[in-house]
Amino acid sequence: MAPTLASQLELPCGAVLPNRIAKAAMTEGMATPDGRPTRELERLYGIWSDGGAGMLLSGNIIVDRDHLERPGNVVIEREPDADMKAQLASWAKAATRGGNHFWAQVSHGGRQTQRLVNPHPKSSSDVQLALPGGQFGKPQPLTKNEIADLVDRWAIAARACQEAGFTGVQVHGAHGYLISQFLSPRVNLRTDEYGGSLENRARFLLQIVEAVRAAVGPSFPISVKLNSADFQKGGFDFGDSLQVVQWLEAASVDLIEISGGTYEQPKLLGVAGQEAEEPQNIAPSTASREAYFVDFAKAMQAEVSVPLMVTGGFRTRAAMEQALESGAADVIGLGRPMCLDTQAPAQLLAGAGQLARYEDNLDLLPGWLGFLRRFQAMKAINGFAGIYWFYEQLWLLGHEGRVDHDLSVFKAFRIVDARNKRIMKARQRLG
C-alpha cells in the first residue's frame, strides 16, 4: 500500500517517525544573547509538539558564536556546561511531550553572517556575497586547522543534543551557509583538497557526517539538508546534488531534506534573487506546482533509496499525498503554515484538505508605492520584510502563546530589526 500522511516511517538506523509530517526548521531568534535556550523556546516547541507532527526540526543551532545565522541563535561550540545541559534538556523535554521526534539542526553561517555579528566572517574562500546594502563583510578563507576544528564542533554539538534528549540531528548543508559554500564551485575557489572537484568540495560535509556518526552511534538519526541546486549560473547544480546524495547514503545518513537556493537566490523563501536562475533539466511542474522541490526529489529517488524529506510550498493535502504516493517524498515538511496554524499537522491527519497561504497577502509596499516592486532590490527587500512578519509570529507564540493576524508587515519589520540590534548590543556587553 502507498504511504499516507499517517503512515509511520522506519529510518535506516531503526528509529521510527510516527507519521510523515515534519515541522521544518525555522529560525527562532529566542536564545539568550550568549546563545542559551530559553523558556520562550520551550513554550514555542511545546505548542508545536502538541500539534501532531511526527518530527520537529529546530532552527539553526550554531557551532561558532562569531558566525550566527541571526542574533538570538542557540550556540553550542564547545562541551556545554551544567547549566547549558539543563537548558537543552528542558527544551528537548518540552519539544517531545507529544510523543514526536525533535531533531537539532546544526549549522554555521559562514559568509552569510551579518556584518553586525562579524565584519570578517570565515568561508571556503574570499568570495563576498553579491548583495546590496553592505550587510555582509568580505570573508576570509578557513585554514585546514580551522576546518578540522569545525568538524569536531559539529560532533560535539550533536552529542550534546543527543545527551539532552533530542532524538536526531540535521547537518545544515543548504541555503548558502558554510557547508553549502564549500559545495558551490562559484564560492569555493580553494586549490587544496577541499576545493576543485566535487569530491573535494564535498569533503567537508562528508567529514562532518563521519564525525557526527562516530559521536552519536549507529542508532541515532542523522539527516542532511541539501540544496537540489543553488539556482545560480555556475553554482551547485542538480547533477552535483545527486552525486552528493549518493555519497551521503553510503555514509549512513538516515534522511535527506531537499531544498534549494542561497541568500543571493533565495528560492525556498519566494524572494527575488539578484540574477536570472540557471535553467535545470527538471520538469516544468517544479515552477508551477505548489511544492517547489518535488520533481528534484523524484528524480533523486530514482537513483537512491535513502528517505527524502521535501519542504517548501505544500498547502493542500492532495499534493502532499500525491508526493508520498508517487515516491517523490517520504516526509512532508511544513514551515510557514506552522507559524500561525500550529495544529496544522493534526488537522491534516484528521482529513483537512487545505492550509492557508498567509504569505500571499504580505506586502511592505502597498498602494501607490507598489510601483517600486519593479526594481529588483526593492522586490528583495519586500520579500525579506514578509519573512520578518513570520519571525514576529514565532516571537509572539514563544512569549505569549498567541499570533497576530492583523500585524502589519512594516511594523513587524521595524520590531524584528530593532530587536536584533538590542540582542547584539547585549551580546557585545557580554564580550
DSSP-derived secondary structure letter, 363: -
Identify residue 122 by its one-letter amino acid code.
K
User: What is the DSSP annotation of 297-359?
Assistant: HHHHHTT--S-EEEESS--BHHHHHHHHHTTS-SEEEE-THHHH-TTHHHHHHTT--B---GG
| Assigned C-alpha cell, 385 | 520584510
Give the per-residue pLDDT at 224. Answer: 97
The three three-digit cell numbers of residue 202, written as one number: 564535498
Number of domains in the chain: 1
What is the reported pLDDT for 267? 47
DSSP class of 101:
E
Task: Output the pLDDT for position 356.
Answer: 87
pLDDT in tens, the chain (431 residues): 789 999 999 999 999 999 999 999 999 999 999 999 999 999 999 999 999 999 999 999 999 999 999 999 999 999 999 999 999 999 999 999 999 999 999 999 999 999 889 999 999 999 988 776 678 899 999 999 999 999 999 999 999 999 999 999 999 999 889 999 999 999 999 999 999 999 999 999 999 999 999 999 999 999 999 987 656 566 678 888 899 999 999 999 999 998 766 555 554 444 444 444 443 444 544 444 566 678 888 888 888 999 999 988 889 999 999 999 998 899 999 999 999 999 999 999 999 999 988 876 676 656 545 555 555 555 666 667 788 899 999 999 999 999 999 999 889 989 998 998 898 888 888 76
Asked if the structure places residue 212 within a domain, the reply is yes
| Domain boundaries, position 356 | 9-360
Residue 221 lies in a domain: yes
Phi-psi region of 35 (alpha: psi -120 to 50; beta: other; left: phi over 0): left
Residues 6+ apart with CB under 8 A from 190: 124, 125, 141, 196, 200
Task: Indicate which CATH number applies to the domain containing 141.
Answer: 3.20.20.70
In-domain check, residue 118: yes
Q: What is the pTM of this model?
A: 0.91
The answer to whether residue 1 sits within a structural domain is no
Exposed / middle / buried, residue 428 (Cβ in 10 Å: 0-12, 13-18, 19+): exposed
Give dist(CA 16, CA 430) in Å, integer. Answer: 42
User: What ranges make up the beta strands (E) of 52-157?
Assistant: 55-62, 74-75, 101-107, 122-123, 140-141
3-state SS assignment for residue 173: strand
What angle is formed at CA 148 by the lines to CA 143 and CA 153, rounded to 5 degrees? 120
The pLDDT score that the predictor gives to residue 369 is: 52
Q: 19, 8 in Cβ contact below 8 A?
A: yes
In a domain, residue 219? The reply is yes
Helices 39-49, 376-400: crossing angle, 10 deg rounding: 90
Q: pLDDT value at position 257? A: 95
* Residue 388 lies inside a defined structural domain of this protein: no
9, 151, 160, 18: which is closest to 76 by C-alpha? 160
Give exposure, 299-313, as e/b (b: 16+ Cβ within 10 Å). bbbeeeebbbbbbbb
Assess if residue 228 is contained within a domain. Answer: yes
Whether 365 is covered by a domain: the verdict is: no
pLDDT of 335: 93
User: What is the number of residues in the chain?
Assistant: 431
